[in-house]
């Protein structure tokens, strides 16, 4: 099942997270499995910005570092070519992964700024 989400409001919400989206982007939701959903975030020109996986299909990423983001612990791995951000408890239904989906560096900063608005509703709490 695929659903296009019209984003008059600028908040993408799921039971595990919320993500603030600029008004010029769209989100497409795919149901991957019983415990796993996926979203593709695109800009107004149709360029892929982010891939989001929610649920049991999310796992830890090697070489990541821990960050306190809006009151919850997340793990992030990034370099000049992209990034992956993981929140919640990896491998369990309360995990969220956000990865850069672009094919070049042009939209990396924009995509990263969107990803850093992640607010988790699950996982370990922290104080920033």
Q: With contact defined as beta carbons under 8 Å apart, do 50 and 100 qualify?
A: yes
Q: What is the DSSP letter of 9?
A: S
Give the global pTM: 0.85
Q: With contact defined as beta carbons under 8 Å apart, do 89 and 96 qualify?
A: no
Alpha-carbon span 118 to 63, nearest angstrom: 21
Q: Which residue has the higher pLDDT, 75 or 60?
A: 75
Alpha-carbon span 12 to 26, nearest angstrom: 10
Query: Is 1.10.10 the CATH number for 2-120?
Result: no
pLDDT tens digit sequence for 1-36: 344 444 343 668 777 888 989 988 999 988 887 778
pLDDT tens digit sequence for 75-128: 999 988 899 999 987 777 888 999 999 888 889 999 999 999 999 988 888 986
Q: How far is CA 47 from the centre of its chain?
A: 16
């Amino acid at each position: 099942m695929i659903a296009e989400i019209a984003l008059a409001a600028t908040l993408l919400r799921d039971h595990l997270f919320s993500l603030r989206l600029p008004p010029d982007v769209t989100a497409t939701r795919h149901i991957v499995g019983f415990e796993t959903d996926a979203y593709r975030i695109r800009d107004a020109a149709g360029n892929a910005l982010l891939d989001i996986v929610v649920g049991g299909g999310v796992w830890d990423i090697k070489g990541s570092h821990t960050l306190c983001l809006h009151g919850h612990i997340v793990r992030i791995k990034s370099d000049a070519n992209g990034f992956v951000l993981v929140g919640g408890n990896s491998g369990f239904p309360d995990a969220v992964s956000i990865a850069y989906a672009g094919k070049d560096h042009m939209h990396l900063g924009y995509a990263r700024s969107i990803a850093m608005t992640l607010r988790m509703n699950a996982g370990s709490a922290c104080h920033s």
